[in-house]
Amino acid sequence: MKFKSKEDLEAPIEKVFEMLADFERHERSALRRGVEISRNDNLKAPGVGAAWEAGFKFRGKDRKAELEVVEFDRPNEIAVEAHMQGMEARVEFVLVALSKTRTRLSVMTELKPQTLSARLLLQSFKLARGNITKRFDKRLATMARDMEERATKMA
């Protein structure tokens, strides 16, 4: 199952990429949302091989996920793969410079079930696809506006 969304930001591609690659900020954001997260690598700078373990509640059950950055092409793309109980996911963040001060951020997520229970979970997602897509788009739009505000403060 795939989800795609895109947003145009009033910020240079380099700044948008730096904000996407600010993994410490993303870790703090996850902690504020109740996710238990720990870093599993010794990298000094963001890049391929950055890895985390995350624990969270989803649909009333405790879940665990292992995440790893598998592509890091400055300033164009970051791809993260996640392995959860019975499911694999890949999230790609692709940046395209529309002008010196404008950037398009495209986010693509693909979920692949590995077990029967994961297939059933994905089937329920398919039934709610419209609502999930709206929430996905809304979350990306919120993230984009936040990034634009931070980019103007960085200038």
Q: Percent of the chain, pLDDT > 90?
A: 93
Segments making up each domain of the chain, as ranges = 2-154
Residue pair 64/86 in contact (Cβ under 8 Å)? The answer is no
Q: Which amino acid is at 123?
A: Q
Q: Using 50, 70 and 90 to split pLDDT, how confident is the model at 59?
A: confident
Segment 6-54, tens digit of pLDDT: 999 999 999 999 999 999 999 999 999 999 999 999 999 999 999 999 9
Does residue 155 have a pLDDT over 70?
Answer: no
- Matching residue, tokens 């809304």: 138
Q: Which two tokens stand for residue 71?
A: 């592509």
Domain 2-154 superfamily per CATH? START domain (3.30.530.20)
| DSSP-derived 3-state class of residue 80 | strand
Question: Looking at residue 153, what is its pLDDT?
Answer: 86
- Count the neighbouring beta carbons within 10 Å of the beta carbon of residue 12: 19
Does residue 115 have a pLDDT over 80?
Answer: yes
| DSSP-derived 3-state class of residue 31 | helix
Q: Which two tokens stand for residue 55?
A: 């624990």
